Structure 1
Amino acid sequence: MRILLTGAAGLVGKNILEHPELGRVPGTWLTPTRAELNLFNYPDVNRYIETHKPDLIIHAAGTVGGIQANMRQPVRFLLENLDMGLHVVEAARQNRIKKFINLGSSCMYPKHASNPLREEMILSGELETTNEGYALAKITIAKLCEYIHRENPEYRYITLIPCNLYGRWDKFDPNRSHMLPAAIRKIHEAKNKGIRQVEIWGDGQARREFMYAGDLADCLIRAIVCFDQLPLIMNVGMGRDYSVCEYYRTIADVIGYDGSFVHDLTKPAGMSQKVVLITKQKSWGWTPSTSLEEGIRKTYAFYLEREEYS
């Protein structure tokens, strides 16, 4: 089997490639760098797929970031994710690649949808404004995969919708990162500098679901092995959430920070709750194994290992 993995240098890609059970998948992994494959150029993408003829494509590449980055650059988040997705999916179709795994995002769900979020809720309401561009791109690519399968059932173009992710190879820069790695960095720096208060955006009551990226990698390894049993669209998550305050307190306990937290109520907090329903995931036979505390310990250890962050 030849597997093309886009985004091999990103959070998801690196966690897949360092997964201890990668050997369960016999065959060759194609992991081109940006210099080797420009996903923004359709002729390049088509030529690469035509030349290498992968049996399966996992599209994990994306332009990602937290609330600040999404609000600051909505054009970039919409266009870059749309371009990459359209190019990879269409080149796969043109070259008769029958197996495709597209990674969506829980941002695809409406802002006022009742939780837990069911796959059928996509396009049922208004999107969260703080990441609308990113969500629109992800929805479009997911629908394209659905349409391709509808026109020709031989093409099983699957969309997996992970909840928020964190873990090894994450981004910790507050200007680019999601809430959990940004909080790890803030609390670490507060402890080291003797700062007795750490700021939280909003009142801290918004609820979020975060899954360790190594668990998503585990899910994807199983998805390759058990591809034919996958639903066409499936949430991947923990099935439970925590408040932002609970995440900050757990991180503080792991790091050993005994200061207090203050709330900036002028800052956006995003959706009030976002937790995915994992009924299909359970029926398929997979559950994540990393607890929040264990995942934060592993992520914090990685943060300390990285010279540029320490």
Structure 2
Amino acid sequence: MSVLLTGGTGMVGHNIKEHQNASNYCVLSPSRKELDLTNRDQIRSYLKANTPEYIIHAAGLVGGIHANIANPSKFLLENLEIGCNLISEAARIGVKNIINLGSSCMYPKNGPNPLKEEYLLNGLLEPTNEGYAIAKIAAQRLCDYLRIEDNSRNYITLMPCNLYGKYDNYNPKRSHLIASIIVKLHEAKINKDKSVEIWGDGSVRREFMYAKDFADAVWFALPRIKEMPHIINIGRGEDYSIFDYYKKISDILGFEGTFTFDLRKPTGMKQKLLDVKKINDLGWYPMHDLELGIKKTYAHYLDCHR
């Protein structure tokens, strides 16, 4: 069976392609030059020519808090366009199975933690990544509407917690938290800096999962797509403070300096922990704890920067 994977050059897409279960399928992973998701005609032609049984939609413009604050309109427009174009054209062509990848930032900023799937659209979004969140919500709702209109469509959305791991982006202007901390602490260690700055007071809490584990959840869901809830959280079910992540990564990297706090900088939601009971009840659990995942990620970072 053939699977169209969008976003195959990103961190999530790379890990999905490298997973051992990918060999059970014919995975189509076109580059942006081969398939421009902002172009409906190209999407329609590609789907007609390749007739995939499944689509895993992992493409998107992603970034950390720096990038989202700097370019909210770009994060809204690009992600809205590619998500709605792909999903609507797939429905028109007759593709019956779609795994759409959402994000924990789609949940209300003041939602009670752990965040349950039914909390979606029950409150205001976090302003620092609102544009991205609105676009991802639109794609999720479109999947719902199309499934309601035709119950032969198995269109589901997986809601991952924050991710890190192999193929992460280590550009400070676009990187997510774990990658950003690794770069900062590695450079501080090399330069023998005495301290490293943390945005905020380090008390906000985040849940992070190794990207390979999320890829495993995607391949777990795909053959079970007819029985899966239409929206389901994927995470570790535990979180840590930002300061905890700095301390853990400094221990692994061997950085022996201290930390300073810039209380003027934005920090985002106070907590963002997912309720993962539904996916656990189906029999899926992540394989990597935080220490193992960070060690593997740091090894990959060193390989990329030798």
The aligned counterpart of 1:96 is: 94
Percent same amino acid among aligned pairs? 50
How far apart, in 2, do the equivalents of 1:11 and 1:72 lie? 22
2:133 aligned with 1:135, yes or no?
A: yes
Residues 156 and 225 in structure 2, CA contact (< 8 A), matched pair in contact too: no
Distance (Å, rounded) in 1 between the aligned partners of 2:9 and 2:176: 18
CA distance in 2, matches of 1:39, 1:21: 26
Per-residue deviation, 1:305? 0.5
* Structure 2: distance between partners of 1:221 and 1:104: 16
Cα distance in 2 between the residues matched to 1:229 and 1:239: 22
**C-alpha distance after superposition, 1:40-81 (max 9, x if no partner):** 111111111111110000000010000110010001000000
**Partners of 1:202 and 1:265 within 8 A in 2:** yes
Which residue in the other structure is 2:7 paired with?
A: 7
Residue 250 (structure 1) aligned to one of 232, 248, 267: 248
Letter in structure 1 aligned against 2:103: S
Shift of 1:151: 1.2
Paired with 1:19 and 1:202, the residues of 2 have a C-alpha distance of 37
Deviation string for 1:150-177 (max 9, x for gaps)? 1111111100000000000001111101
Q: Which residue of 1 aligns with 2:285?
A: 287
Distance 1:228 1:147 in 2: 16
Deviations 1:102-155 (A, max 9, x none): 000000001011100011111111100000000000001100001111111111
SS in 1 for 2:108: coil
Q: Secondary structure at 2:20's aligned position in 1?
A: coil
Give the secondary structure class of the aligned counterpart of 2:226.
helix
3-state SS in 2 of match to 1:229: coil
Give ranges in structure 2 of 5+ residues lacking alignment: none
Q: Name 2:18's counterpart in structure 1.
A: 18
Q: Aligned Cα RMSD in Å?
A: 0.8
Q: How does 1:90-129 map to 2 (within 5 A)?
A: 90-129=88-127
Cα pair 2:16 2:22 within 8 Å, conserved: yes
Equivalent positions of 1:1-310 (< 5 A) are: 1-23=1-23, 25=24, 27-307=25-305, 310=306
- The amino acid that maps onto 1:205 is S
4+ residue runs over 3 A deviation: none
**Alpha-carbon contact 2:185-2:196 (below 8 Å) kept:** yes
The DSSP-based 3-state class of the residue aligned with 1:153 is: coil
On the 8 A contact 1:229/1:284 being kept in 2, the answer is: no
Measured in 2, the distance between the counterparts of 1:32 and 1:184 equals 30
Measured in 2, the distance between the counterparts of 1:229 and 1:166 equals 28
Q: Is the 8 A contact 2:103 2:136 kept in 1?
A: yes
Report if aligned partners of 1:4, 1:57 keep a CA contact under 8 Å in 2: yes
TM-score relative to the length of structure 1? 0.97
**2: distance between equivalents of 1:251 and 1:43?**
46
State the number of aligned residues: 306
**TM-score, normalization by structure 2:** 0.98
Instruction: Give yes or no for contact 2:207–2:240 (8 Å, CA) kept in 1.
Output: yes
* Gapped regions of structure 1 (runs ≥ 5): none
Contact residue 201 and residue 268 of structure 1 kept, 8 A = yes
Question: How many Å apart are 1:226 and its aligned residue?
Answer: 2.2
Preserved contact between residue 6 and residue 31 of structure 1 (Cα < 8 Å): yes
